[in-house]
Amino acid sequence: MPRRNWAGNVRYAARAFHRPTSIDELRRLVAGSPRIRAVGTGHSFNRFGDTTGDLVTLAGLPPAIDVDAERGRVTVTGALRYGDVAHRLHTQGYALANLASLPHISVAGAVATATHGSGQTHGNLATSVAALELVTADGDLLRVDRDTDGDTFAGMVVGLGALGLVTRVTLDLVPAFEVRQYVRLDLPREALDEALGSAYSVSVFADWRTPRLREVWRKQRVEQPPPPADWLGTTAADQPRHPVLGMPAENATPQLGVPGPWHERLPHFKLGFTPSSGDELQSEYHLPRAAAAEALAALDDVAHLIAPVLQVCELRTVAADELWLSPNHRRDSFVVHFTWIDDPASVLPVVAAVEERLAPFAPRPHWGKVFVTDPAELAARYPRYADFAALLTRLDPTGTFRTDQLDHHFPR
């Protein structure tokens, strides 16, 4: 098991590392440990998942991808990566409604942090969850279902790994579909709103060095006509691109309007290659969808701080949901994502400056990325924050799944 996260900025403090190969072994391990956490593919950039106790990977459990055609759902082992699940589903004629920008992340880890793709009508990945199976603090196996557990279920899906070790996840399915990906260059900022709503999934990339927006990645279903030559005052890319300048385009998913399966177009990066740049830190903030223009204008005041430590900034949209700790809880969201250079000393002051400028819009940071928001301020931005804290105490009264960062944000 790796001793650091994917980016290398977190060295795990665990006293022991485990790789159980059965549910019974996992249950015994949890029941006998005073402190334990699961680690997925390690794509979190903070210490919510770090512990001084036992760290366990569930990748050794028998993999399963079980389709229920009658109900239009699939149940998968939580440690499986989305890319592996998606490929299997496609061969059977099924799809997931959306995917994140990289298919390398585990299903359970992505769901627990409300990781997402893009699209004004698409919720984050956790909104596709219909049921969870998890090992609780006493070693019991608990199953919760959207159809029967209602409000409690909505509190458990985005659980930050704090309610138990998720072994299986049931996801909603849609019929398989094909997508064309077009990259457009040099978008005028006043056209951002129209661009974000122009296709099935849209990402806009900026560098904060010029007022215009560098690229628009439009992922559209094949039945939608291609954008016209003069679309929103942009020009068409004449060769494949990578979101991070200087990185090889072959790492990115196919572009130039070539049709292909949903799972080979909705992510930005191919499963078999290193996603993003690999040498980086990340921050991300979810704001009210209607505040997009004002939020960008507010960030203009610190553009001179952002640009020197930035690799790329990505702008997206995510639909509202009812999940308690989802950054998209009860509001359609405009999402500002930063991929920074790997230099915490230089990046953290800029993160603080960004958060100060965005504060009037009540930003909700991505749970798996770098942020410095005061816990009291963060709590005020989630209507069900106190309810989650109570649920945490009820399901884990002895703090088996607690970590220092979790205690910081949800004190006992």
Q: Is 140 contained in some domain?
A: yes
Q: Is 276 contained in some domain?
A: no
Q: Is 132 contained in some domain?
A: yes
Cα–Cα dist 190/243, whole Å: 21
Query: Any idea what the CATH number is for the domain that residue 155 is in?
Result: 3.30.465.10
pLDDT (tens digit, 0 to 9) for every residue of the chain, 412 residues total?
568 888 888 889 899 999 999 999 999 999 999 999 999 888 899 989 899 999 999 999 999 999 999 999 999 999 999 999 999 999 999 999 999 999 999 999 999 999 999 999 999 999 999 999 999 999 999 999 999 998 999 999 999 999 999 999 999 999 999 999 999 999 999 999 999 999 999 999 999 998 889 999 999 999 999 999 999 999 999 999 999 999 999 999 999 999 999 999 999 999 987 777 678 999 999 999 999 999 999 999 999 999 999 999 999 999 999 999 999 999 999 999 999 999 999 999 999 999 999 999 999 999 999 999 999 999 999 999 999 999 999 999 999 999 999 999 999 8
Number of domains in the chain: 1
C-alpha atoms less than 13 angstroms from C-alpha of 386 in its C-beta half-sphere: 3
Q: Is 125 contained in some domain?
A: yes
Domain ranges, residue 100: 65-175
Q: Single out the residue of 85, 86, 82, 109 nearest to residue 167, CA to CA.
A: 109
Q: Is 183 contained in some domain?
A: no
DSSP string across 41-78: S----SSTT--SSEEE--TTSPP-EEEETTTTEEEEET
Q: Is 200 contained in some domain?
A: no
| Vertex 253: Cα angle to 250 and 256 (nearest 5) | 90
Give the 3-state secondary structure of residue 156. Answer: helix
The tokens describing 74, both together, are 């699939």
Report yes or no: 168 and 62 within 8 Å, Cβ to Cβ: no
Phi, psi of 139 (to 5 degrees): 90, 0
Q: Is 18 contained in some domain?
A: no
The tokens describing 125, both together, are 């990945």
Q: Is 168 contained in some domain?
A: yes
Q: What is the pTM of this model?
A: 0.96
- CB burial class (10 A; 0-12, 13-18, 19+) of residue 25? middle
